[in-house]
Chain A
């Protein structure tokens, strides 16, 4: 009984101490501003994701009739890879845009799962960069053997190919950095879930 009283007193003292801590004030005008700008930003990102996908799809649609079987196969491969990635990206943005009122345990599990998926996607994106090095020359060769490349087009390709290669390198490095960032996030989450000094 004595011990129960001690525990109760200890709990009360702990609660009092906790409630006595200095607190910050919410800046309501800043919250309103951030809320609106965040909403605009999220919508803009979604729009950009969709817009970036549309021109290549449209070009494939326009040129489809003139393409050889090999060119169609390459384009299909690229579309099949890109569309699900963009869809997933849109889904992630939608998830990020909405507030989570799920249980904290659910949130932790969902968030961890999402970060693991992001690591996988970054890994896939990174490793889709180097095949692009193969796909680009293959595409050019296919056009060449199909007799579609005039000397003027070759002149343009000599400029376009290095630019495309640089874009692919930047893409790969960007994906690698994203992968590292998500891995670090996962490490922070796991450490937060497990940590204890003694």
Chain B
């Protein structure tokens, strides 16, 4: 293993946080998911053999952990109600980001996050990996898809997100 987990968290903490935000709208749940992802990454790093970059390796782990996390949340019956009723459409607590105070960029970001979370899982993963700067080859490696398939899915995902943005304006 080339990097220690603390170094990895320092370097990729924000990236892992963005993975969490693409699955959970509620800020508390995002933090909880981020911690779960961090534990999974720590576990996973001990088995990292250097076949790929650390970034793609931890992104695989992070997305897998997030999928498991979201499914396991059915134990908390009121999660989705809480998410929908008590938070603004941006997914952040309304008290922290009132509509009046939100800047144009924040509103765009809120729409983007909402649109990303509404995407089917594969499109969501491919799009967010692309937004993190991964190449088609790297996305194909993370998702277990062919490069061509990545291109098709990414195009669809972008179209869907842009359409959402277009409707909102």
Contacts and interface: CB of A to CB of B under 8 A. Distances in A.
Contacts of A115: 71
Contacts of A102: 60, 64, 144
Contact of A111 (B27, B47, B68): B68
Interface of A is mostly: helix
Contacts of A105: 122, 143-145
Contacts of A104: 60, 63-64, 67, 122, 125, 142-144
A20 interface: yes
A99 B9 contact: no
A101 B61 contact: yes
Interface residues of B, number: 63
A166 interface: no
Interface in A95-137: 98-108, 111, 115
B105 A28 contact: no
Nearest to B77: A184
Given A17-B109, A28-B6, A104-B63, A188 B70 contact: yes
B84 to A, nearest CB: 14
A187 B41 CA distance: 27
A24 B39 contact: no
B16 interface: yes
Interface stretch (A29-37, A82-90, A145-153): A29-37
B50 to A, nearest CB: 13
Nearest to A105: B144
5 contacts: A17-B109, A19-B131, A31-B9, A105-B143, A192-B121
In order of increasing CB-CB distance, the 5 nearest A-B pairs are A103-B144, A23-B17, A105-B144, A184-B74, A18-B131
